Amino acid sequence: MRKIFTLLFGLSMLVWPAMAQDVDESYVFMDEEGNIIENGATVVRNVVEAYDEVSEVIYSGISVLNLAGSSSDYLKMHYDIQRLDNGIYQICFPSTCNMKTEVGVYETGIGQLMGDLQDIQSEWFPIADGECVVTLRIEVFTKQGLFPPSYVHKADGPTMTLRFVKGDIPGPEPLAGDVNGDGEVSISDVNALIDHILTGADFDAAADVNKDGEVGISDVNAVIDIILNK
């Protein structure tokens, strides 16, 4: 049995690096406290403020930071609105503002940052309780020519997800295969399952990935399937 676990562990170690995508972190997302946001992370915002006499807003407090030191790059923000229960989602980046009332995949115009740190001005104007969920992705360009100018893809930057919440909205369902509870399914979850099985330690519901009432080799296989099919 131990040999089976070793084989599965080795297989997942070989497959996982091949699945990873290179991300240029010359430009990164930063929160209002100056913390760099990890690629792929989700940030929840639920502080509702008065915008004017009739409107409310939830601000993201997210900025883009230039770590490259280059002032010649041009940036675009891709944004995927996955949930928009009501109201309007607005994003202003780098120098123009877009307002959307429907889910969908969109992008901003191309422009340069106004300094090394620029507020994205990503915000939700709710008209009732609900949620707005948006995934942002930075794309970096170089500019060629002047009349007319053209922009050439240089690199894909990091992504992050904003979850705006107004009211008593339940949290997301537990992620299948997220045995260690870190919010993603990866090789670390395979390792956690193997530790459960080899040590005979008590397990919680997350470890029983296939929901058969016990933790075994089938749960390890289930997590590997989830990783391979992401």
- pLDDT one-digit tens code per residue, 150-206: 899 999 999 999 999 999 866 667 788 888 878 888 888 888 888 888 887 666 778
Domain region containing 218 = 174-228
Is 88 a member of any domain? yes
Domain count across the chain:
2
Same domain, yes or no, for 89 and 146?
Answer: yes
Q: Say if residue 60's pLDDT is above 70.
A: yes
Q: How confident is the model at residue 21 (pLDDT cuts 50, 70, 90)?
A: low
Q: How many CB atoms lie within 10 A of CB 127?
A: 13
77-81, 183-187, 224-228, range with greatest mean pLDDT: 77-81
Is residue 78 domain-shared with residue 155, that is, in the same domain? yes
Q: Does 105 share its domain with 217? A: no
Q: Which of 112, 143, 166 is the last residue of a domain?
A: 166
Residues 38, 112: one domain? Answer: yes
pTM score: 0.66
39 to each of 20, 30, 46, 97, how far by Cα in Å? 12, 11, 21, 24
Mean pLDDT of 92-112: 94
In a domain, 20, yes or no: no
- For residue 17, tell me if it sits in a domain: no
Indicate if 157 and 213 belong to the same structural domain.
no
User: Is residue 106 located within the same domain as residue 178?
Assistant: no
* One domain for residues 125 and 47: yes
Instruction: Let me know whether 106 and 49 are in one domain.
Output: yes
Neighbouring residues of 227: CB distance < 8 A, sequence distance ≥ 6: 12, 15, 16, 19, 177, 185, 186, 187, 190
- d(CA 186, CA 169) in angstroms, rounded, equals 28
Establish if 6 belongs to a structural domain.
Answer: no
Round to whole Å and give the CA distance between 59 and 42.
15
In a domain, 62, yes or no: yes
Q: What is the pLDDT of residue 172?
A: 65
Confidence of residue 140 (pLDDT cuts 50, 70, 90): very high
Evaluate whether 185 touches 40 at the Cβ level (below 8 Å): no
- Is 215 found in the same domain as 155? no
Is residue 177 packed enough to be buried (19+ CB in 10 Å), middle (13-18) or exposed (0-12)? buried
Contacts of residue 59, defined as CB under 8 A and 6 or more positions apart, other chains included, come to 45, 47, 49, 123
